[in-house]
Amino acid sequence: MHMDFLLIKKAKNGDGQAGEQFIKKHYSSIYQYCFLHIHDRALAEDMTQETFTRFFESLQTYTDYGKARNYLYRIAGNIIKNYYKKKKEIPVEKIPEMPGNDMGDAEVRMDIERAVERLPEELKETAILFFFQELKQKDIAELLDIKLSLVKYRVSRAKKLLSEYLEVRE
């Protein structure tokens, strides 16, 4: 995260190249986070761009340098929540397109993503951050503003449910 601190500081002082480096560093993980919630490539891309736009718009007042990635996830999460509030419906499961995977890997990934979609909302959010975004449980607790023990419980519960969901398909 030390690199983020330097990039943000430079970007705050008008260094556009530092801002681009920051975006390149975090773009794919924020995109994947949005995609796992929305299952629409173009919309996930728009949400990712909106996340970085909002981040840089708030740059002059941003002071929590050590947690830039968490701040990006929080912004993206708010954008996703606003999307569902406006839409007022949960999308019908779609077969997600994941570039760069062979068919076997893509099929397994689709099974996992379908299973994640079946999780209760609070478990789904934790599962996406833990399993797909590979965040540490401590970081998830900070990001979601909940206790570490609750994150541990949700990860454990999500593992159990996902195991059950994936067994059923066999």
| Domains of the chain by start residue, with CATH | 1-91 (1.10.1740.10), 93-170 (1.20.140.160)
**Contacts by 138-142, CB closer than 8 A, 24 or more apart:** 139/69, 139/70, 142/67, 142/70
* Least confident among 15-19, 34-38, 108-112: 108-112
pLDDT digits (tens, 9 = 90+) for 31-61: 999 998 888 999 999 999 999 999 998 887 7
**The predicted structure's pLDDT at residue 66:** 60
0.85 surpassed by pTM: no
User: Do 51 and 75 touch, CB atoms closer than 8 A?
Assistant: yes
Give the pair of three-digit tokens for residue 46. Answer: 């728009």
Q: Which residue has the higher pLDDT, 132 or 90?
A: 132
User: Do 123 and 157 touch, CB atoms closer than 8 A?
Assistant: yes
Residue percentage of the chain with pLDDT more than 70: 84
pLDDT digits (tens, 9 = 90+) for 59-76: 877 776 567 888 899 899
